[in-house]
Structure 1
Amino acid sequence: MPAKTSEPEDQSPETPHYHGHRERLRERFHGAGPDALSDYELLEMVLFAAQPRRDMKPLAKSLLKTFGSFAEVIHAPEARLKEVDGVGDVTITQLKLIAAAASRIAKGQLQRRTLLSSWNDVLDYCRTSMAFADKEQFRILFLDKRNQLISDEVQQVGTVDHTPVYPREVIKRALELSATAVILVHNHPSGDPTPSSADIQMTKAIIGIAAPLGISVHDHIIVGKNGHASMKAMKLI
């Protein structure tokens, strides 16, 4: 008996019943644009390459029902994806390729622009990179005096609800890179981006060490699948 997570073998009927459906989706995509397609239809098109001889509509709908949205599907942990009937290694590779491409594009846009004049790009990049991760990550964006990105580094990866952060290590790295400002970012896998008291205390500790050295902490952004929170906008720092 085949394993639940294995992908079905390709079948080769002379006229697959889904052939016309795929062509119609492609025509709508090219004619009306991607916004004309629903999440499950866009997901279907992503999956075409993974399973070229199978009707992908049921699998696309099953994935969306399981994870909630297109973004949550492509960022879902591999172990959970494998629990969905019909998903195997090839399909997972295709989904993770889309996730990696989205992150690479967002990072490229961030590096080409003055950071603080395109705040939406910062938020988009942070959400794309971290919002759907299943473990907490603490990321630092190091900036020069013109607020251009010098480096984007994940300093720590923790558990589902905690990441150890060492303020002196943050500032040590900023000095190594000759950064004059930083933006701190971390994610809440629970989905709720509300800062905790520990988040606020840790941020203030970093600011306390950075300020005498001429390093500004522009913000601490927390992202989750339900949105984002800016400590500066919330007047917490």
Structure 2
Amino acid sequence: MSDDHRLGHRERLKERFRKGGANALAEYELLELALMLAIPRRDVKPLAKTLLAEFGNYAEVISAPPERLKEISGVGDNVVTTLKIVEASSQKLAQSKVLEKPVLSNWQALINYCSSEMAYKKNEQFRVLFLDRKNRLIADVKMQEGTIDHTPVYPREIIKKALELGSTAIILVHNHPSGDPTPSREDIEMTKKIMEAGKQLGVILHDHLIISKGGHSSFKSLDLI
């Protein structure tokens, strides 16, 4: 692609984005815009399409581990840094909509936040959202991280942390890297143990969310708590 044609293409893409936002662009075009920041003097459309073909979609690309991204020809430190900035920005935006706000009345924002943080993790991660008396989020703590399908969880440690933070209610969140958010028998049994431990010390379990790239499930909606 000639320099003039490349510059014209970039400007047309930017103009469409300015007028219509992300909905005006295909996924590869949105990824192109990000890659333009990292590679200012090269046609990045082929690289954008290669990344999408390799990882599946835009979210998978920006959340891919740096070492996996670098396996792709044309991806260097600048590209990795730019993609990780995009990922961190999306997480910070989602977090700002739930931090220190009543989460039970803004449930979709909470799901969006948890999904941005955990849906594309390659290993299972167990987090606890600690709430105050007004059900505002005061802390999001990663309690454990495990393998692709198992994370050890210790109910006493969770309740101990709640008491340290002055939290009176909690929401459990963990991810299923498999993509299937269906609760396992182990998930259900572990949740019951945490709920019972909390009851004894005045810490309410509001819900347990399972997050995956295939969607999410809620123990409360499933009548499991």
The TM-score, its normalising length taken from structure 1, stands at 0.92
Residues 188-227 of structure 1: CA distance to partner in whole angstroms, max 9, x if unpaired? 1111111111111111000010012111110110111111
Alignment equivalent of 1:185, drawn from 173, 181, 194: 173
Is 1:67 the counterpart of 2:48 in the alignment?
no
1:99 aligns with 2:117: no
Superposed structure 1 runs of 4+ greater than 4 Å apart: none
Q: Using the alignment, how far apart are the partners of 2:122 and 2:8 within structure 1?
A: 38
Letter in 2 for 1:142: F
Structure 1: 5+ residue runs without aligned partners?
1-12
- The answer to whether residue 169 in structure 2 is matched with residue 220 in structure 1 is no
Q: Which amino acid aligns with 1:174?
A: A
Question: Which of 131, 154, 164 lines up with 1:166 in the alignment?
Answer: 154
Q: 1:113 deviation in Å?
A: 2.6
The CA deviation at 1:28 is 0.4
| Residue of structure 2 in register with 1:3 after alignment | none
Q: 1:185 is aligned with what amino acid?
A: V
Cα distance between partner residues in 1 of 2:176 and 2:44: 32
Query: How large is the Cα RMSD of the aligned pairs?
Result: 1.3
In structure 1, what residue type is equivalent to 2:45? Answer: K
Is 1:34 the counterpart of 2:54 in the alignment?
A: no
Aligned partner letter, 1:95: L
Q: Displacement, 1:66?
A: 1.1
Distance 1:138-1:51 versus aligned 2 partners, 3 A rule: same
Instruction: Work out the number of aligned pairs and report it.
Output: 225
SS in 1 for 2:206: strand
What's the % identity of the aligned pairs?
55
- Cα-to-partner distance string for 1:111-143 (whole Å, 9 max, x where unaligned): 153110000011000000010011111111000
SS of match in other structure, 1:40: helix
* Structure 2 runs not aligned, ≥5 long: none
Structure 2 residue 65 is the aligned partner of structure 1 residue 46: no
Cα contact 2:100–2:138 (8 A) shared by 1: no
* Alignment partner of 1:137 out of 125, 132, 139: 125
Q: 1:234 aligned to 206, 217, 222, which one?
A: 222
The Cα of 1:146 is off from its aligned counterpart by: 0.5
Give the structure with the higher percent helix.
2
